Structure 1
């Protein structure tokens, strides 16, 4: 795996983890017996930063690793639904899209 591929994999993992934290925080905010907003307050900004970092790193990786247009578009779309960046990163790794060309 190339250094840029490692950065993409790391940021994809962080984006997914902050998504999970935000979802858990939202559960406790809206569905817990004693609602609390601490999870949303912590993971909301963290996920916002992770999302923006993922978008920037995805564009950089697409250019540096010469991804086809469909791979770059799919990687950007994967940031929207919860936890999709992880399986996408695993699939990209198996296809060799995270390796240097």
Structure 2
């Protein structure tokens, strides 16, 4: 299943991107509107872990398949944009790497 660096990258990209969306659009409103700050603590910690793993997977993928700089830069950039990983995954599917 995880025999390809790109497949591994796509899986962890979706996990990281989903954790960012959950943090911003579910946990943060629960904290500030409903008064549940514990949710942000839990989801934020998970997102931080997934972000670090995502960075390691980016490094692994870059060295393993010798990614062009634009893919490296793009994968780092989308980690800070909600739904960015979904767009990158779509473009990655259309590229020659998949």
Task: Give the equivalent residue in structure 2 for 1:17.
Answer: 18
What's 2:96 paired with?
A: 96
What do residues 17-52 of structure 1 show as CA deviations (whole Å, max 9, x unaligned)?
Answer: 1112211111111123xx112321221010001111
Moved over 4 A (4+): none
Asked if the contact 1:21–1:39 (Cα under 8 Å) also holds between the matched residues in 2, the reply is no
CA displacement, residues 40-90 of structure 1 (integer Å, 9 cap, x when unaligned): 122101000111111111121112122111111111111111221121022
**Higher mean C-alpha displacement, 41-50 vs 82-91:** 82-91
Q: Distance in 2 between matches of 1:12 and 1:89?
A: 8
RMSD of aligned alpha carbons = 1.7
Corresponding position of 1:28: 30
1:64 alignment counterpart: 64
TM-score (norm 1): 0.84
Q: How many residues are treated as equivalent by the alignment? A: 96
Greater share of residues in helix: 2
